[in-house]
Chain A
Amino acid sequence: MARYAMQRFILALAVAVAVSIISFAILRVSTDLAQALAGEAANQEEVEQIRIAYGLDRPLYVQYFAWLGDIARGDFGESYYFREPVAGLILDRLPLTFTLAGMSLLLALIIALPLGVLAALHHNSWIDRLCLGIAVVGQAMPSFWFALMLIFVFAVTLQVVPLSGGDTWQGLILPAVVLAYYATPAIMRLTRAGMIEVLASDYIRTARAKGLSSASILVKHALRNAVMPVVALAAVKFGFLLGGSTIVETVFALDGIGYLSWESIQRADFPVVQSIVLLFSLIFVFLTFASDILNAWVDPRVRV
């Protein structure tokens, strides 16, 4: 296990380094930073002065290590728009985005696991097709449209939840539903596929030959093995839900990371955009690592 964890960790580290290089490069290659800092109106001389003042004339690798060093110290640079440290901007909004992603993942699992099992148990029947149908519609419907429908029905017409804002947990219900709706199909399909495969396996036949109860066969022998890949998927989905919050936060006027990144892209606030890209990428790398470890922990074949 320790050996396996070490291997995974080294891999994660390598990916993290690659991610940092790419997110560094994206910004440097996509625009002339000195020009962006100086503004459209600045003349050539002013731009050159800024280039030297910000160290942008140094070789790229020097700039990269300087940037990396800053980040290691928690200095993510300063927002062009807010004129404030990026770290603070992000830190203020992180809890909201995490809560939202956590709520939607939980909701998605609560819906997807039973439906996936149900579809597998009745596979190729109308129940199965109905579940798959819901999944297909779920994946095809644009999220902003779904969000607006929910707002219209539950916030405007029925008025059972607040229209917008993340000050209360009720305000997070609709956005969590929207996000969960997108995470559900994949989890459901994987659960279904896993269950179908496991239910046809020799050890399930053994469990039946032992005369075990249906509940024991289903939960102890089948589900346990079928959800192993779902664990990994759930961790990765959490990353997607964090990243996917951009549209949802914008539609529901939630001041989280997603909304911040949306605004920052519009304002060409590159330090913020770059930091968010880097941060979410690193979170993603970490989640993948965590899901590998989690997977190993539930599967004795990997654990040893």
Chain B
Amino acid sequence: MAALLDIRNLHVRIPVGFGHVHAVRGVNLSVEAGQTLCVVGESGSGKSMSALSVMNLLPPRAMRDADRILFDGVDIAQLGPRQMAELRGNRIGMVFQEPMTSLNPAYTVGNQLMEVHRRHRGSSRSAAWARAAELLELVGISNPEMRLRQYPHQLSGGLRQRVMIAMALMCEPGLLIADEPTSALDVTIQVQILRLLRDLQRRLGIAVVLITHDLGVVARVADTVAIMYAGQVVETGSARAVFASPRHPYTNGLLRSMPKPGNGRGEPLQAIPGTVPSLLETIPGCAFAERCARADEACRVGPIATTIEERHSFSCNHPADIRAREEV
């Protein structure tokens, strides 16, 4: 089956001072229609930049470069700004990490929901209003007519994130990108929002790219997983394969630091000892070498072997053995 979204060899460079942050370094990602891809990685690993690349919403001076970004068979890396705008909010919806500041304080919830529908569907005010009310209902907001008349500051963070989700779904997109949609929320609200996303994904049959720090979430919702480190995808595959036999030492480290089910889920990943390399410089060899127990001289110099299996691929010279979670 052809993937709904297929990103090949994506690079993002952001000019800073006299150099560049090479934030995304040759990322490949793909999502099939109706499936959930979870992108996992430490802070600064390039998850947001990869997601924003798809929407063409990178920071002003950031430079995007990719062999292709296929969405539903069309290379959207080649689209002009107008054609891209046709797609955004219409066939691809996006939800951000900051529900408190992502809505315009000057307009009512209804106004902001309706405008997406009116823009892409050319619907009448009353049709857009009805659709907005319907969507609020869908995302589990009671009394939608009242909420539509309210301003963002009258809503809690959890409600605002529901509104953002409703907004992203107004035009029935095929793909929803959610960039850490729950990080800014209380733990109990986090669970509700994630459950909502999963339910919506199943009910509407949309594809979801969920960016998260939380491996517990990944285990519950992901069809496929991509593990990112220092701007690269180091391991990716079906969630089942990756969880059952992680091959990359970094993935192993992440899984080891994952809280066991039952005691305090949803905590941020515990740091693996060592620090992430600077993205200002070119990294020869493996970016994880400084923190890797298996690293040898060849790892530091490169090249690094990439193994591509049926439902699982990873970039490592000394991958862990299949079905044996390494205990170093």
The interface residues of chain A lying within 8 Å CB-to-CB of B88 are 208-211
Distance (whole angstroms) from the CB of A198 to the closest CB of chain B: 10
Q: Please name 8 further chain A to chain B contacts, defined as beta carbons within 8 Å, in addition to the given A202-B96, A210-B88, A210-B119, sorted by A numbering.
A: A209-B168, A211-B90, A211-B116, A212-B116, A300-B105, A301-B153, A304-B151, A304-B154
- Nearest neighbor of B103 in chain A, beta-carbon distance: A203
The interface residues of chain B lying within 8 Å CB-to-CB of A139 are none
Contact at A203–B101, with CB atoms within 8 Å? yes
Instruction: State the total of A-B contacts with C-beta under 8 angstroms.
Output: 75
Q: Is A267 an interface residue (CB 8 A)?
A: no
The interface residues of chain A lying within 8 Å CB-to-CB of B57 are 205, 208-209
- Residue among B89, B105, B107, B151 making CB contact with A209, cutoff 8 Å: B89
Q: Is B326 an interface residue (CB 8 A)?
A: no
Contact at A210–B101, with CB atoms within 8 Å? no
Cβ contacts A to B, 29 pairs, < 8 Å:
A202-B98, A203-B103, A203-B105, A205-B96, A205-B102, A206-B102, A206-B104, A206-B164, A207-B104, A208-B88, A209-B55, A209-B89, A209-B94, A210-B88, A210-B89, A211-B85, A211-B87, A211-B88, A212-B116, A213-B119, A220-B107, A225-B106, A299-B105, A299-B106, A300-B106, A300-B153, A301-B105, A301-B153, A304-B154
Distance (whole angstroms) from the CB of B236 to the closest CB of chain A: 25
Distance (whole angstroms) from the CB of B91 to the closest CB of chain A: 9
Q: Is A49 an interface residue (CB 8 A)?
A: no
- Nearest neighbor of B56 in chain A, beta-carbon distance: A208
The CA-CA distance from A229 to B55 in the complex, in Å, is: 32
Distance (whole angstroms) from the CB of A114 to the closest CB of chain B: 20
Q: Is A7 an interface residue (CB 8 A)?
A: no
Q: Is B215 an interface residue (CB 8 A)?
A: no
Q: A202-B98, A301-B151 are in contact. Are A211 and B105 (CB under 8 A)?
A: no
Contacting residues of chain B (96-130) with chain A, CB-CB under 8 angstroms: 96, 98, 101-107, 115-116, 119-120
Q: Mark B24-58, 1 if CB is under 8 A from A, else 0.
A: 00000000000000000000000000000001010
The interface residues of chain A lying within 8 Å CB-to-CB of B199 are none
Q: Is B86 an interface residue (CB 8 A)?
A: yes
The CA-CA distance from A201 to B168 in the complex, in Å, is: 18
Q: Is B218 an interface residue (CB 8 A)?
A: no
Contacting residues of chain B (153-171) with chain A, CB-CB under 8 angstroms: 153-154, 164, 167-168
The interface residues of chain B lying within 8 Å CB-to-CB of A304 are 151, 153-154
- Residue among A201, A209, A299 making CB contact with B101, cutoff 8 Å: A201
Q: Is A129 an interface residue (CB 8 A)?
A: no
Contact at B119–A211, with CB atoms within 8 Å? yes
Q: Is A224 an interface residue (CB 8 A)?
A: yes
The interface residues of chain A lying within 8 Å CB-to-CB of B115 are 210, 212, 216
Q: Is A8 an interface residue (CB 8 A)?
A: no
Distance (whole angstroms) from the CB of A99 to the closest CB of chain B: 33
Contact at B86–A211, with CB atoms within 8 Å? yes
- Residue among A212, A224, A225, A300 making CB contact with B119, cutoff 8 Å: A212
Q: A203-B101, A225-B105 are in contact. Are A213 and B85 (CB under 8 A)?
A: yes
- Nearest neighbor of B81 in chain A, beta-carbon distance: A214
Contact at B167–A210, with CB atoms within 8 Å? yes
Q: Is A221 an interface residue (CB 8 A)?
A: yes
A interface, CB within 8 angstroms of B = 201-203, 205-213, 216, 220-221, 224-225, 298-301, 304
The CA-CA distance from A209 to B55 in the complex, in Å, is: 7
The CA-CA distance from A213 to B85 in the complex, in Å, is: 7
The interface residues of chain B lying within 8 Å CB-to-CB of A221 are 104
Contact at A212–B89, with CB atoms within 8 Å? yes
A-B pairs, 10 with minimum CB distance: A211-B88, A210-B89, A211-B89, A202-B101, A203-B104, A300-B151, A211-B85, A209-B94, A202-B102, A210-B116
The interface residues of chain B lying within 8 Å CB-to-CB of A299 are 105-106
The interface residues of chain B lying within 8 Å CB-to-CB of A211 are 84-90, 116, 119-120
- Nearest neighbor of A206 in chain B, beta-carbon distance: B102
The CA-CA distance from A119 to B30 in the complex, in Å, is: 40
Contact at A206–B90, with CB atoms within 8 Å? no
The CA-CA distance from A154 to B71 in the complex, in Å, is: 62
The CA-CA distance from A206 to B107 in the complex, in Å, is: 13
The interface residues of chain A lying within 8 Å CB-to-CB of B151 are 300-301, 304
The interface residues of chain B lying within 8 Å CB-to-CB of A202 are 96, 98, 101-102
The CA-CA distance from A60 to B276 in the complex, in Å, is: 74
The interface residues of chain A lying within 8 Å CB-to-CB of B90 are 211
- Nearest neighbor of A298 in chain B, beta-carbon distance: B106
The interface residues of chain A lying within 8 Å CB-to-CB of B164 are 206
- Nearest neighbor of B87 in chain A, beta-carbon distance: A211
Distance (whole angstroms) from the CB of B312 to the closest CB of chain A: 32
The interface residues of chain B lying within 8 Å CB-to-CB of A205 are 57, 96, 102
- Nearest neighbor of A123 in chain B, beta-carbon distance: B60
From B57, B88, B102, residue with most partner A Cβ within 10 Å:
B102
